[in-house]
Structure formats: structure tokens, C-alpha cells
Amino acid sequence: MAKIIVVGGTGLIGSKVVAKLSEHGHEAVAAAPSTGVDTLTGEGLADAMTGAQVVVDVSNSPSFEENAVLEFFTTSTRNLLAAEAAAGVGHHVALTIVGTNRPQNIPYFRAKTAQEKLITESGMPYSLVHATQFFEFLGSIADISVVADGTVHLPGALIQPIAAEDVATAVARTAAGRPINGDLEIAGPEQFPMDEFVRRGLAFRGDPRTVVQDPDAQYYGAHIEERTLIPLDGAEIFPTTLAEWLPANPPRS
Ligand SMILES: NC(=O)c1ccc[n+]([C@@H]2O[C@H](COP(=O)([O-])OP(=O)(O)OC[C@H]3O[C@@H](n4cnc5c(N)ncnc54)[C@H](OP(=O)(O)O)[C@@H]3O)[C@@H](O)[C@H]2O)c1
């Protein structure tokens, strides 16, 4: 059984990863600003790494503004990898996004690509888990896509979302295994045009906003192609469907 540090272990995915690793007998420790570990400033990092064999990075930037998110993922990843090397950590696992490693122009994805590059070039044994969009992200996608008249405008590009619980299963399993020194793609079982995914979710929740398919609409600041967010052949498909997930997950207040 290993000592595994989960950076971002208080977050949506991180808290589930900590729980799953602990259930399997590992010593899983959540590291986040609220537990005294800040990967941006380096505060608490060296102490947190003591005796750890594996580090899982499921942290996220508090701001999604283009420069802030790039600064977050590059500075925090540099600090983390340096602290891991000093402490003799033998496996760095990071959660990233399906589509970061193919042509696209999404500012948030550029920051994740920079994070991945630092990891792959670090010399540290690693595993990169690329997940599709989380079901839990549904409300946020709607909120950022509202136009002046209150309707939600989304492209018809395909999305193949996955439940956070399934993402955490994949990340925990990867952390408990050997470094793959490569990429693993994971996704949910169904594809939807993005507007249909959000329309179904809002309707189920009784949210009265109208969702419009709009070819000019952007996704997080960029135009995307039909398959930009869709996994390649060979992705591992997890079972939870939207119809199963919705009734079990009322919106978080
Ligand atoms: N949303 C999606 O659809 C999607 C899809 C694929 C991949 N991802 C990736 O999944 C990862 C996890 O996302 P999530 O939704 O679980 O995140 P989240 O719920 O927002 O949690 C973020 C975590 O990061 C921690 N954190 C923030 N600033 C930090 C710092 N300076 N030092 C250390 N920890 C810090 C937070 O700690 P506090 O609790 O103390 O603030 C929290 O534990 C992200 O890397 C994201 O890129 C997301």
C-alpha cells in the first residue's frame, strides 16, 4: 500500500479520489490551500511530499481567465515536480482533458497542454488521464453560454460527458498502478450535440432557460469543430448515463 498525495484533494474529483484510495487501503492525503499546501507559492509542499510514493494532481485554477489559468498550471506544476523530485516520488498522475493534444484554440486547453508538456519533459515517471467534460459541469456550461436575451447559445459540436465518480475511479486506479509514461483517454457512454446535453439537463432540473443551437456560439472562448471534444478510438468508456446521473445529482447550491 502506498502513500499517495492528492493535490486538489478537497475538490470535486480530488475528494472522491482520496475516498477511493483510502477504501483500498492506501494512505491518501489531500493537499490543498485549505489543508496548508499551496502549489503556487510552494507553501507546505516539501513537508507534504515526505514519504510519498505517488502524487496525483487534480487541482484546478480558481480563475479561468486565460493568463491566470496558464500561470496557475505552469507555476504549480513546476513547483510540484521539483518538490516530487526532491522527495523521491516515483509517479506523477495528472488529470487533463480529451482534445488537448489535437488542434484547437481553447485558452483553458492551452494551459492544460502547457501542464502536460512540463510533466512529459520532466523525467518523472507519469500517467496523464484525459477525461471528457464532467456531467457536473452542465450548469457551468449553461451559465457561461447565456446571451443578452437570457437564452443559452451553444454549438452543435459533440460532447461525450462522464460522471465525476467514474473519473475518480479511473484516476484512483491509475494512481495505484504503474506509471504508463503516456496518455489514457476516458469518456462516458453517450455522445450528444452540446446544446442537446445542456437542454436535457436544464429541462430535467426545471430550469426555464431556452437552449439554442448556434453555429457561431463559442465554447470557453473558442470556436470548436464537431469532434474537438470527442475521444479517439481506444478510450476507456465508463458506464454512467445522463439519465442515471441526473436524478442522483440535483444542482449544487
Ligand atoms: N470540468 C471538466 O469537465 C473537466 C474535464 C476534464 C478534466 N478536468 C480537470 O479536472 C481537474 C479537477 O477539476 P475539479 O472540478 O475537481 O476541481 P475543483 O473542484 O475546482 O477543485 C480544485 C482543487 O484545487 C485546489 N487548489 C486550488 N488552488 C490551489 C493551489 N494554489 N494549490 C493547491 N491546490 C489548489 C482546491 O483547493 P481548495 O479546496 O483549498 O480551494 C481544490 O481542492 C482540473 O485539473 C481540470 O482541468 C476538468
Rounded-to-integer distance, Cα 94 and Cα 76, Å: 12
CB 88 within 8 A of CB 55: no
Q: Rounded to the nearest 10 degrees, how much is the dihedral formed by the CA atoms of 121, 74, 183, 44? A: 100
DSSP symbol at 234: T
- Is the shortest distance between the CB of 22 and ligand 1 below 6 Å? no
CB 45 within 8 A of CB 86: no
Task: Give the pLDDT band of residue 164 (cuts 50, 70, 90).
Answer: very high
Instruction: Quote the cell numbers at residue 186.
Output: 476516458
Instruction: Enumerate the domain spans of the chain.
Output: 3-248
Ligand 1 centre distance from Cα of residue 42 (Å):
17
CB 35 within 8 A of CB 20: no
Fold for the domain defined by 3-248:
Rossmann fold (3.40.50)
Q: What is the mean pLDDT of residues 195-201?
A: 97
- Is the shortest distance between the CB of 14 and ligand 1 below 6 Å? yes
* Confidence at residue 184, expressed as pLDDT on a 0 to 100 scale: 97
- Is the shortest distance between the CB of 249 and ligand 1 below 6 Å? no
Instruction: Quote the cell numbers at residue 131.
Output: 477525461
- Is the shortest distance between the CB of 13 and ligand 1 below 6 Å? yes
- Is the shortest distance between the CB of 99 and ligand 1 below 6 Å? no
- Is the shortest distance between the CB of 137 and ligand 1 below 6 Å? yes
Q: What is the mean pLDDT of residues 46-54?
A: 97
Pocket test for ligand 1, best of 49, 60, 63, 183 (most atoms within 8 A of CB): 60
Tell me the pLDDT tens digit for each residue of 1-38: 899 999 999 999 999 999 999 999 999 999 999 999 99
Residue 252 predicted with pLDDT over 90: no
Instruction: Quote the cell numbers at residue 181.
Output: 509514461
Ligand 1 centre distance from Cα of residue 229 (Å):
19
CB 121 within 8 A of CB 114: no
Tell me the pLDDT tens digit for each residue of 114-162: 999 999 999 999 999 999 999 999 999 999 999 989 999 999 999 999 9
Per the prediction, the chain carries an average pLDDT of 96
* Confidence at residue 41, expressed as pLDDT on a 0 to 100 scale: 97
